[in-house]
Amino acid sequence: MANATISRRQFLVVGGTVTGSLVLGLPGANIARAELADGTFGDRQIGYFVEITPGGRIIIGSNQPEIGQGLRTALPMMVAEELDVDWENVSIRQMPLGIVKTADGYTWKYGGQGVGGSTGLKSNWEFMREVGATARQQLVRAAAARLGVSPEACRTRAGVVLCDATGGEIPYADLVEDAAKLDMPDEAPPLKAMRDYRIIGTHRNSIDGPDIVTGRSKFGLDTQVEGMRYAVIARSPILNGRVRSFDDSAARAVDGVLDVFTIEGPQPGEPYIILASGVAVVATSTWAALKGRKALEIDWEPGPSAGDSSEKFWQENAAMLEDSGQIVTDDGEFSAAMTAADTIVTHRYEVPFVSHQPMEPQNCFAHVKEESCHIIAPTQMPAGASRAAAAVTGLPRENIRIDMTRVGGGFGRRLSNDYVAEAAMISKRAGLPIQLVWTREDDMRNDFYRPGGLHELRAGLDADGKVTAWTQRLASGSKYYRRPNMPDENLWQAELYPDDFPRRIVENYRLEYFHNPIGLPRGSWRAPAHTANAFVIQSFLDEIAADTGQDPLQLRLDILGEERELEYDGHGGPTFNPGRLTRLLKFVAERIGYGKDRPPGTGVGLAAHFTFGGYAAHAFEVTVSGDGELGIDRIVAAIDCGYAVHPNAVKAQLEGATVDGISAAMGQEITVRDGRVQQSNFHNYPLARIAQIPPDFEAHVLNYDETPVGVGEIGIPPVAPALTNAIFAASGVRIRRLPIRDQLRQAAVS
């Protein structure tokens, strides 16, 4: 998006509207009046984000998608803190996508909107506080003018401006009209010091909690629009397959079916705007649409991926690792260091394709008209939804309205807006407002899966057991495959993060990549490649310790060392502090009783990882019976996200990430046979059950400094390796292939 960052002066221009409200974030009063007339604003609104009712109620806009990470509470907490109001007096409204057409393209109207890579909070930390502080500043200036004193003589407290010299006290609600007449100061208002926070960093319940537990929260599937019809798609069951022909006579005979037509997907190898070709059925109800789809007779053209299989994929990966690949990082004198090593440790690890499986399958409302389009969607990237709708309708983006519902789980799946494109295609063709609905089976078999890959790690150690050389070689399907304008030589960048541990600690360091172009679509899955790389790196550390007679915790502490800032050029940088992982490892080790005697069949495992600017560590205690039954007895998890703005949400994210990581490690894998995804629902793609999660589960939030980072992904990467390291400590069985599934039972009988 052109000019994605606009200046404070551009964003925080003040204009008096026809209602006498103070308006921040407008390019001028004339536009403000036009937007008010169009219903975008209500009376008594202070800028795009803040409205104060006559009774003093504060309504704060949330500009980001809410996917369960707590931003609909955390971001308004920032505004409310600087505005200086009581949190109990605050309610939240969801804002639509706001983009503005400029001479150079499009720019943000409400600040950047989109959540992924744990960026939603960090990218809004300064911005949202300044929104609140600026509104408060204008209210103070209005009060000072009314009382005949300088603004410096005034202070605020819980929605009131006070002047000690005069004894004056004016509620915010009485100052809006005066504040609207004031010009914007050139200088940004000062922000509060951390010691003065009354809302930020305090334990607050989710603002949406009552609505969620009583069923009042509106998700995408809850969308109801007058005249809306319903649509489903029969997509190709074969990767990259197409519709050769179809018979829709039985489908059209189903009561309620209105229309049936083909949907064309991309050609093999082309970038995805939708995932698959298929046949759309439009009906008066979801039930009728599903019945119509079931009645279709479709002859599928198999396409070039009909011979793809998981077995072939893993065989090809193993063969590639026997050759030379693309060396993407090569520090120091790697070959010489490896030759000089006293001990060399080498192991391979297999990480599978996995599916997102949010509780709410993909869905989207679309109403395409001749000159406009309205989208209502549970999306992580509303700007991407705007681009997708524009691409298939031919409409300019300023004519496309994107409304965001609460999202029933994202995990990276809804960074892609293929379902938005599908809905817009169907609405345009049918000439109707429609809601596109995916079933669980649709969602499982049509996904942007986390890439699977075969990793080979090798380390050289000196006579003292110190790691002197390290390499990671990976053969995988890159998630960047079929991305627009992505050259083949850059496909590795989504799978190997060159600045991850132990780079810049181990001087002789090499990364090597091989790409396998399997036909499965790939994309971002919660903490993308960090989940794979943390598993293999943290497992390998334990294997180094076992092979060289070292303690796994002490080996980690020796390599990580104390606090220092290392260069980190990837997402989450610009620096990585290994000492912060040291702190977390020591903490979880102490909490779980690392090193204490335990009965046979019981063991403890540890892991820690740096993800997108944040740090996390896990310790698991498990029991493995003689017949290979696994029981998780205890979990200790800790997270360092800098500063926890909304501690309750941070803890909840750490708990949820841990359970998610257990699910993936224990039993989740997407497999392919004859070009077809074999999994379809939770019976063959299991989630962790309550009974698998121990009651003794500690989740700790350890603040570090005054700079917060997002937490949606930080907590998941250490889970699988901590669990499998604990399994090894308990049973002597090393898990090098995920998921764990029945490997322990097989080992028990072998």
Q: For 581-594, what is each residue's pLDDT tens digit? A: 999 999 999 999 99
Domain end among 184, 213, 242? 213
Structure tokens at 296: 């279709």
Plot region of 411 (φ>0 → left; ψ -120 to 50 → alpha; else → beta): left
Domain end among 428, 445, 462? 445
- Note if the bond before 517 is cis, omega within 30 degrees: no
Q: In which band, very low, low, confident or very high, does the pLDDT at 557 lie, cut at 50, 70 and 90?
A: very high
Q: In which band, very low, low, confident or very high, does the pLDDT at 1 lie, cut at 50, 70 and 90?
A: low
Between residues 416 and 6, the one the model is more confident about: 416
For residues 110 and 248, membership in a common domain is answered with: no
CA distance 229 to 96: 23
- pTM score, two decimals? 0.94
Helices 528-548 and 552-560, packing angle to 10 deg: 120
Is it the case that residue 2 has pLDDT exceeding 70? no
Q: In which band, very low, low, confident or very high, does the pLDDT at 46 lie, cut at 50, 70 and 90?
A: low
CA distance 483 to 272: 7
For residues 204 and 255, membership in a common domain is answered with: no
CA distance 531 to 497: 12
Domain end among 403, 420, 445? 445
Residue 185: what pLDDT? 76
For residues 280 and 401, membership in a common domain is answered with: yes
What mean pLDDT is predicted for residues 236-255?
98
Q: Does residue 185 sit within a domain?
A: yes
Q: Which residue has the tokens 């390796």?
A: 721
What mean pLDDT is predicted for residues 425-438?
99
The H or E element spanning position 722 is helix 719-731
DSSP state of 732: S
Residues 6+ apart with CB under 8 A from 441: 680, 681
User: pLDDT, tens digit, for every residue of 264-319?
Assistant: 999 999 999 999 999 999 999 999 999 999 999 999 999 999 999 999 999 999 99
The DSSP bridge pattern shows strands 22-24 and 14-16 to be antiparallel
For residues 485 and 615, membership in a common domain is answered with: yes
Is it the case that residue 178 has pLDDT exceeding 90? no
Handedness of CA 482, 523, 442, 351 (dihedral sign): positive
Q: How many CB atoms lie within 10 A of CB 107?
A: 19
The closest alpha carbon to 730, from 625, 592, 627, belongs to: 625
Q: Does residue 68 sit within a domain?
A: yes
Q: Does residue 609 sit within a domain?
A: yes
For residues 128 and 200, membership in a common domain is answered with: yes
Q: How far is CA 6 from CA 13, 106, 111, 122, 615, in A?
A: 12, 11, 8, 17, 31
For residues 415 and 519, membership in a common domain is answered with: no
What CATH number corresponds to the domain at position 453?
3.30.365.10
Q: How many CB atoms lie within 10 A of CB 369?
A: 14
The H or E element spanning position 336 is helix 334-340
For residues 328 and 407, membership in a common domain is answered with: no
For residues 507 and 536, membership in a common domain is answered with: yes
What mean pLDDT is predicted for residues 497-512?
98
The closest alpha carbon to 312, from 58, 518, 17, belongs to: 518
Q: Does residue 13 sit within a domain?
A: yes
For residues 326 and 371, membership in a common domain is answered with: no
The closest alpha carbon to 536, from 430, 602, 455, belongs to: 455
For residues 422 and 300, membership in a common domain is answered with: yes
The closest alpha carbon to 251, from 232, 274, 229, 227, belongs to: 232
Lowest mean pLDDT among 185-189, 432-436, 529-533: 185-189
- Write b or e for each residue in 733-742: b if 16 or more Cβ atoms lie within 10 A of its Cβ, otherwise e: bbbbbbbbbe
Is it the case that residue 602 has pLDDT exceeding 50? yes
Residue 53: what pLDDT? 87
For residues 277 and 334, membership in a common domain is answered with: no
Q: How many CB atoms lie within 10 A of CB 574?
A: 12
Is it the case that residue 41 has pLDDT exceeding 80? no
Percentage of residues in the chain having pLDDT higher than 90: 88
Structure tokens at 612: 């997108």
Residues 6+ apart with CB under 8 A from 132: 50, 78, 79, 80, 81, 82, 83
User: pLDDT, tens digit, for every residue of 11-24?
Assistant: 443 333 333 333 34
Question: Residue 248's domain spans which residues?
Answer: 227-304+356-445
Q: In which band, very low, low, confident or very high, does the pLDDT at 45 lie, cut at 50, 70 and 90?
A: low
Q: Which residue has the tokens 């790697």?
A: 334
User: pLDDT, tens digit, for every residue of 212-227?
Assistant: 999 999 999 999 999 9
Residue 43: what pLDDT? 46
Q: Which residue has the tokens 């003589």?
A: 153
CA distance 534 to 608: 8
Q: Does residue 3 sit within a domain?
A: no
Percentage of residues in the chain having pLDDT higher than 70: 94
Q: Does residue 219 sit within a domain?
A: no
Q: In which band, very low, low, confident or very high, does the pLDDT at 177 lie, cut at 50, 70 and 90?
A: confident
CA distance 663 to 668: 7
Residue 17: what pLDDT? 31
Amino acid at 207: I
Number of structural domains (the chain) is: 3
Residue 44: what pLDDT? 61
State whether residue 533 is helix, strand or coil: helix
CA distance 78 to 136: 13
Amino acid at 699: A
User: pLDDT, tens digit, for every residue of 363-401?
Assistant: 999 999 999 999 999 999 999 999 999 999 999 999 999
- Torsion of the alpha carbons at 655, 660, 661 and 663, rounded to the nearest 10: 130
Q: Does residue 209 sit within a domain?
A: yes
Residue 38: what pLDDT? 39
3-state helix, strand, coil in the chain (%, to 5): 30, 25, 45
The closest alpha carbon to 222, from 496, 459, 488, 437, belongs to: 437
Is it the case that residue 29 has pLDDT exceeding 60? no
The H or E element spanning position 328 is strand 326-331
**Based on the number of CB atoms within 10 Å of its own CB, is 591 exposed (0-12), middle (13-18) or buried (19 or more)?**
middle
Residue 459: what pLDDT? 99
The closest alpha carbon to 500, from 541, 453, 466, belongs to: 541
Amino acid at 2: A
Q: Does residue 399 sit within a domain?
A: yes
Q: In which band, very low, low, confident or very high, does the pLDDT at 730 lie, cut at 50, 70 and 90?
A: very high
- Write b or e for each residue in 596-606: b if 16 or more Cβ atoms lie within 10 A of its Cβ, otherwise e: eeeeeebbbbb
For residues 554 and 405, membership in a common domain is answered with: no
